[in-house]
Amino acid sequence: MLDPAEQGRTIAYPGEPLAYRRGGRRLVGSTHMSDNDRSDSGIRDCLVVGGGAAGLSAALTLGRARRATLVVDAGRQSNLVAAGIGGLLGHDGRTPAGYYAAARTELAAYPSVEVVADEVTGGRREDDGTFTVTLGGGGVGRARSVVLAPGMEYRHPAVPGLRERWGGPVFHCPFCHGWELRERPMGVLARGAVGVHGALNLRAWTGRVTLLTNGAGVTAEQRRQLAGGGVGLDERPIAALDGPGTALRAVVFAGGGELAIGALLVKATLYQRSPLARELGATLIEPDEMLSVQAIRVDAMGRTGVPGLYAAGDAATSVPPSLAAAVASGHLAGAAASVQLAVAGRR
């Protein structure tokens, strides 16, 4: 839920021609219905839940197909805490906030797309196949199709000092942030095969890697693999991360002693942010040791198996999450939704 203090508050995105209001409609540039829909039934062609890379990409595709599209976005894209985006072609190094602002500005060119700052708090599929969602700001949205793109909740290990360094020297994706942190002494906080693979992989960015198992053991074979790859191993239970401010200086062990590191790779497990996908009838793939995401089950076009219901981005990925993947899957889900509308007789 949105903080009640934020309801009705205007959000100004610097440099953007659009203004948004929490719990309300877009203030500029809204037409609500597509230019090929003159029925004014109040039902959009598509409602997109989430305005991150996946949702905005879906909306761009739908807008270009002249589909009446409502994007509802709670404004908590998962990478906002990071200083920059790594690995997104055309946007490498850009700030996340700047990237989303640019995407929303592009959408302003498409009159059938409306973006509101609000939160979908519940939803249902009606007997006639349309969808109705409730909004935290008090409204209701109706649509012939829905693209779920709400992102995921990234859960990381509960180690004191970790949360405040998340998105900085504590990271979960070396392909996203390894470059900026390269050549620092690095730790990898993970267990089992995931930890061993993660630590060996990190050698691409630094010659000083230590696998930290936080009290867990490793097999003899894993010990050999680590030694062969030039990776250190420390199995002591961890008490905290330490460093000035949000920088990282060392990992401190419960029994005393510490190891100097400048960055820490952690394993994050991704969970749905709300029960919405299940409420609308989608099925979820539960996380296991290697596939650490509770993804919505979809096919390659983002179809959930529920007619009219699509999913994209982190919420539906069963591969390592990234902005590039979110943009691609959002585009495909938006295209699939538009094609299905046409097949069902919508111009």
Contacts with ligand FAD by CB under 6 A lie at: 49-55, 72-79, 81-82, 85-88, 119-120, 149-151, 154, 167, 173, 176-177, 273-274, 276, 313-315, 321-324, 326
Q: How far apart are CA 109 and CA 23, in angstroms?
A: 23
Nearest residue (CB) to ligand FAD, 94 versus 346: 94
Which pair of tokens denotes residue 246? Answer: 């949000």
Nearest residue (CB) to ligand FAD, 20 versus 110: 20
CA 217 → CA 187, 190, 221, 222, 291, distances in Å?
16, 11, 12, 10, 21
186, 172 Cβ separation under 8 angstroms:
no
In whole angstroms, what separates CA 162 from the centre of its chain? 20
Which pair of tokens denotes residue 218? Answer: 């490793």
- Kindly state the smallest distance separating residue 170's Cβ from ligand FAD, in Å: 9
What angle in degrees, to the nearest 10, is found between the helix axes of 174-181 and 192-202?
40
163 contacts: CB under 8 Å, gap ≥ 6 = 156
- Kindly state the smallest distance separating residue 345's Cβ from ligand FAD, in Å: 29
- Kindly state the smallest distance separating residue 109's Cβ from ligand FAD, in Å: 20
- Kindly state the smallest distance separating residue 249's Cβ from ligand FAD, in Å: 20
Could you tell me which of 151, 191, 188, 152 has the C-alpha nearest to residue 173?
188
Nearest residue (CB) to ligand FAD, 20 versus 154: 154
- Kindly state the smallest distance separating residue 219's Cβ from ligand FAD, in Å: 30
Provide the 8-state DSSP code for 284.
B
- φ, ψ of residue 150 in degrees (nearest 5): -85, 5
| Largest pairwise CA distance in the chain | 71
287, 152 Cβ separation under 8 angstroms:
no
Nearest residue (CB) to ligand FAD, 55 versus 308: 55
- Kindly state the smallest distance separating residue 252's Cβ from ligand FAD, in Å: 23
- Kindly state the smallest distance separating residue 309's Cβ from ligand FAD, in Å: 14
Nearest residue (CB) to ligand FAD, 131 versus 154: 154
152, 315 Cβ separation under 8 angstroms:
yes
Nearest residue (CB) to ligand FAD, 177 versus 239: 177
Nearest residue (CB) to ligand FAD, 24 versus 86: 86
